Amino acid sequence: MSISPKVTPIYQTSVFTFEDLNALEAYFEQPGQSYLYSRNGNPNTDELAQEVNQLEKGNGAVATSSGMSAILTAVLVYCQAGDHVLCAEEIYGGSAALLTQELTRMGIQITFVPMAEMYGLGSYVQPNTKLILAETISNPMMTVLDLAKVAQACQVQGIKLVVDNTFASPVITKPLQLGADLVIHSVTKYLSGHSDVTAGVVIAKDTADAQRAKQIVVAWGLTLSPFESWLASRGLKTLKLRIKQHSENALALATYLKQHPKVSEVFYPGLPDHPQHALAAAQGHGLFGGMLSFRLADEAETVNRFMRGLTHMPFAPSLAGVVSSISYPLGTSHRALTPEQREKLGITVGLIRLSVGIEDADELITDLDKALAAI
C-alpha cells in the first residue's frame, strides 16, 4: 500500500544517503532532483521557499536562517568589496546596523537616503552604486513607499531595488510586480505568524539572482533548519485569513487611539489622515496591515505605567504574532542608532509600536483603555 501524506513530513536529517557512485554523480548532474546535505537543501526548506515564491510571484527563492540573514544574502547577490549601497533612512534598526557595522568592514560603502528623497536618487547614486534597500511599510513610523515610483527611479539609474516586505506581506503588496528586483521577508513575522520560528526568505524576479542567492546561503551556512521550515510552511496556510484579521483589528485600535486624549499621535496607513493613505489603499488593495505606532508623553515613567497597565498585550520586542504585543523602538529595534538619528526619525521616549493580533478587537481596546487610564 502506497502512502501519500497530506502534509509534507519533517525531514529532520543532516545528510541523505546514496545507493552507489552513479547515484552520487546523478545528484551533481541533475540539480534539484535529490538531496545530499541539509545545508545544501532539504525538502522542507525547499517547500517553504517555493510556497513564498508563489505568493510573491517570483522566479525563484531561498529560505534563510533569519530575516537578518535574508538581508545579508540579498545585498551579497549584487555587491562585493568596493561597491556602494543606498538604504532608506527610515528602516529597521537591525538592517541599518548590519549595513553600517558589518558590511562596511567588508569594504561596502553605505549611504542613507531620506524618505522624502527616495524618488529622486540621482544625487545619491555613484558609479559603484549597486542597489537600494527599502521597506514597503517602514519600521516603526509606518511610512508607505511608492514602490513603482522608486523602481522607476532605480531603472533610470541602473541600480537594483531590494524591498523588505515583512510589514506588508505578499497578501497586501507584491513588490516584484511593482518593479523590485529582490524581495526579502523575516519569515519569523507574518509568514510564520505564531512567534515560534526564526527564519527568512529571499525571492527574486530573475532566475539567475535566485540561483546566486541560493549559492550564498549554502556557502555562508545561512540555511534554515527542516523543523523550522516545516513550522513556517504550516503557518503560511492561514496567512491570508490572518492578515485580514490583523488589518481589521489594527484599524479599529488605531481609530480608538486617535481619539484618546493621552495619545498625541497615531501612525497607521489605514487612517484617512495618514500622509500616504491613498497610496497605501491602492498598493495594499484595501488592506493596511497589523502594525501601528503611537506616541504618549515623552516620559519613561509614563511608558512604564502604560506597559504595566496592560493585561493581554505583552512587551515583546518582535511582531506579527497572532497574539498582540507592544514594543519599544527607542530601547529595542532602533537602539543601535545615534540619538540624533532617532530624533530625526521621530523615535522618541514616548513612541510605542503595537503589533495587533487576531484576538477580539473589543477586548484589545478594553485592555488599552485600562492601560491608558493608569498613566
Provide the whole-model pTM: 0.95
3-class secondary-structure state, position 130? strand
Q: Which of 39, 258, 305, 335 is catalytic?
A: 39
Q: 42 CB contacts (<8 Å, ≥6 apart)?
A: 11, 13, 35, 223, 226, 229
For residue 1, what pLDDT band results from cuts at 50, 70 and 90? low
Contact in structure between 57 and 176 (CB atoms under 8 Å): yes
**b/e 64-87 (16+ beta carbons within 10 angstroms → b):** bbbbbbbbbbbbbbbbeeebbbbb
Domain edge (last residue) among 205, 236, 267: 236
Which three-class secondary structure string do you get for 158-208? CCEEEEECCCCCCCCCCHHHHCCCEEEEECCCCCCCCCCCCCEEEEECCHH
Shared-domain flag, residues 86 and 220: yes
In angstroms, the CA 231 to CA 212 distance is 26
Residue 295 catalytic? no
Question: Which of 130, 160, 174, 189 does the annotation list as catalytic?
Answer: 189
Mean pLDDT rounded to a whole number for the chain: 95
Give the model's pLDDT for residue 245.
Answer: 98
Residues 6+ positions from 37 with CB-CB distance below 8 Å: 14, 15, 16
- Determine the length of the chain: 375
Please tell me whether residues 231 and 255 are part of one structural domain. Answer: no
> For residues 99 and 324, what is the distance between their CA atoms, to the nearest angstrom?
30
**Domain shared by 99 and 70, yes or no:** yes
Beta strand 84-88 pairing with 109-113: parallel
**Among 236, 270, 289, residue at a domain's last position:** 236
Question: Active-site residue 189, yes or no?
Answer: yes
pLDDT (tens digit per residue) in 278-321: 999 999 999 999 999 999 999 999 999 999 999 999 999 889 99
Active-site annotation holder among 11, 35, 92, 190: 92
Q: Is 1 contained in some domain?
A: no
> Which pLDDT value is given to residue 246?
98
6 is a domain residue: no
pLDDT tens for each residue of 153-175: 999 999 999 999 999 999 999 99
A 10 A CB-CB count for 281 gives 17
Beta bridge partners of 144: 137
pLDDT confidence bin for 33, thresholds 50/70/90:
confident
For residue 348, give its domain range: 239-373
Q: Which of 196, 219, 236 marks a domain boundary?
A: 236
pLDDT in tens, 96-121: 999 999 999 999 999 999 998 999 99
Structure confidence by residue, pLDDT tens digits, 317-337:
889 999 999 999 988 777 777
92 is catalytic: yes
Q: Which of 46, 83, 164, 367 is catalytic?
A: 164
2: pLDDT strictly greater than 70: no
Instruction: Report d(CA 212, CA 285) in Å as an integer.
Output: 32
Query: Is 37 labeled as catalytic in the residue annotation?
Result: no
Tell me if 179 sits within 8 A of 173, measured CB to CB. Answer: no
